Structure 1
């Protein structure tokens, strides 16, 4: 595999062996007859779709799930032949393209099925029906809708392969709403199984449900955030049903070190002014890379020690208050471990009052991704120059 070059001192490291570890841990945690969707939507949550997909499949995942048809086609273009499900809505006019590439798509609207029946399909189209049991995004909500939708599947070119729903609160401490969704799902499933004679794959378990309720009566599980070594919520992290390994870390280097005098100010708006003579380091990473302005004040790791970001984060750079002078080129870790110290994805998410899902997704593609497997360099992906 070609190793691309990059010309900046900021990068992401992705441990593909951590992806493999997390799949293998889940495989041991769930009943052996269950199958696993590895969810690689949104460029595998910012980790790299093709790289993660291949690692997950090699580790034992049975299929892949994405959100967009574009994402599925990209995987096919890179030689991935495993089953792929697009979990989001696609245009009816694009159904022939999905069928031609053996990509299963999601449906939940009678009018959409009617439109697909009017287009020419090169081969049968695999369908997964989405049920909205309480998430409130997309999907059918009643048995009447289910009956009406099933009546439209009178075309041999349309293959009802699966049915799924999504639990909105499976990662929370209170199970009341989760149980309400699960009851509705079971009622709809019982009706469907009573009237539909053909085999169907059922999948409702996201990461939280897979970890907390591994024995739930499902054919497949959708392993999303936890594929990447992150727990779906602090509640699930405290329970720790299995030990996950984070795959993502973010690093940079000092490119300038200077001493400022008491009263000197740093960055736009002069929001930080030195209270004494201080050493300040400049790091070549900023909000254009996804390290957004609200992260002013958070710590980074240098020489295995925590040091705070001072002044407003710029588009391409930010400044750090150092405990002593360092040489340029000194490694800076924004997410990850140095020695005994660690800045986790969860810590960054908590600082921003958001969830860990969002953090790797916002680290932009102009930050090169370096892929390792058990310490061996596998690939460097640089979206800027490639």
Structure 2
């Protein structure tokens, strides 16, 4: 039975867009280069399980997450494809990775020593060794670190290095100088592994930006993240994208109250918005608890009946108001992200209003907002974590 939701506020996820982006990426890459669909942060706010299933059907071979918890959730949901945890995992939790056949990232000799002490099973554990080539976040930085880590790994035959990778800091910028420096450092790191007798089956350095720009130089696996969701890694890259990205996320609500307000009346907390004349004001059941942050009140609009309608006053925890062009009925659809060919609010536009990047926008829409999934134009399913239960509602 479909999970219900009892507030007319929801996000729509177009799985056809996810599929198209994965298919186009695969066609851009050499035939022997695989795609890892990055579904961390609940699939960048789109829904990890649904995106993972769609990406795998479209030809992705691996899944990437940030946390061991995220990987376990995918396994429990029934997904059997290879999964890599890209972030740090506690050494005492290595048995969980083994239990669920999850590959984890390694970059510290001390971590390997501690994990070896904690791990009691004889089942093998698979690792991807990360190099810090200039991101400054996680990874081995020099030969001595690599040698110490490899030596520690070799002392425990249960620990197997199946992959090696790095992450680029500036691949989405026009100036590729730093990218080229990192790429050279990564190749040097791979030479260290060869010298130390390690030949990983999987080599990956390409995030969305690097993979779209340099598909032929990304070794045998790429990590397809932001572009899989139809969003450009940066504004700079938009003019040179090798294929059109199909945006998958939209955000909607409905008017729950419409009223005529006379001149010089205050709207919302602080009464900082004052009506200039007789105005039609609509109330929308979305607020900062849903991720529609208070900062969006300034100079922001929503779409009602193909009209851009300014947000009126401060955004509340659960609601905000907007100025309507004329009287419209309660129940009229309000689009916060999305729209048609004539009037549209993109994720990039919302990011620009907030002075941030498009990655953040779908991630910040909270799980209080149900996700409705569409495939081939048909409503496929609803995810509403507030009411997901084994009992019929």
**TM-score higher than 0.5 here?**
yes
Matched position secondary structure for 2:144: helix
Aligned to 1:6: 5
Q: Distance in 2 between matches of 1:6 and 1:197?
A: 52
Q: Contact between 1:20 and 1:59, CA under 8 Å: does it hold in 2?
A: yes
Q: Distance in 2 between matches of 1:198 and 1:215?
A: 21
Q: Contact between 1:299 and 1:306, CA under 8 Å: does it hold in 2?
A: yes
Q: Give me the CA root mean square deviation.
A: 1.0
Q: Contact between 1:303 and 1:338, CA under 8 Å: does it hold in 2?
A: no
Confirm whether residue 246 of structure 1 aligns to residue 247 of structure 2. Answer: yes
- Of the structure 1 ranges 176-185 and 277-286, higher mean CA displacement relative to structure 2 is found in 176-185
Cα pair distance change 1:339/1:205, threshold 3 Å: closer
Confirm whether residue 345 of structure 1 aligns to residue 344 of structure 2. Answer: no
Aligned to 1:152: 152
Aligned to 1:232: 233
Aligned to 2:114: 115
Aligned to 1:270: 271
- Equivalent residues, number: 385
Aligned to 1:85: 84
Q: Contact between 1:249 and 1:336, CA under 8 Å: does it hold in 2?
A: yes
Aligned to 1:21: 20
Q: What runs of 5+ residues in structure 2 fail to find an aligned partner?
A: 389-393
Q: Shift of the alpha carbon at 1:199? A: 3.9
Aligned to 2:295: 294
Normalised to the residue count of structure 2, the TM-score between the two structures is 0.96
Confirm whether residue 138 of structure 1 aligns to residue 161 of structure 2. Answer: no
Q: Distance in 1 between matches of 2:200 and 2:181?
A: 26
Confirm whether residue 184 of structure 1 aligns to residue 185 of structure 2. Answer: yes
- Of the structure 1 ranges 171-180 and 196-205, higher mean CA displacement relative to structure 2 is found in 196-205
Q: Shift of the alpha carbon at 1:217? A: 4.2
Q: Distance in 2 between matches of 1:46 and 1:23?
A: 18
Aligned to 2:67: 68
Normalised to the residue count of structure 1, the TM-score between the two structures is 0.98
Q: Distance in 2 between matches of 1:326 and 1:122?
A: 67
Q: Shift of the alpha carbon at 1:179? A: 1.2
Q: Shift of the alpha carbon at 1:278? A: 0.8
Aligned to 2:391: none
Q: Shift of the alpha carbon at 1:122? A: 4.5
Aligned to 1:105: 104
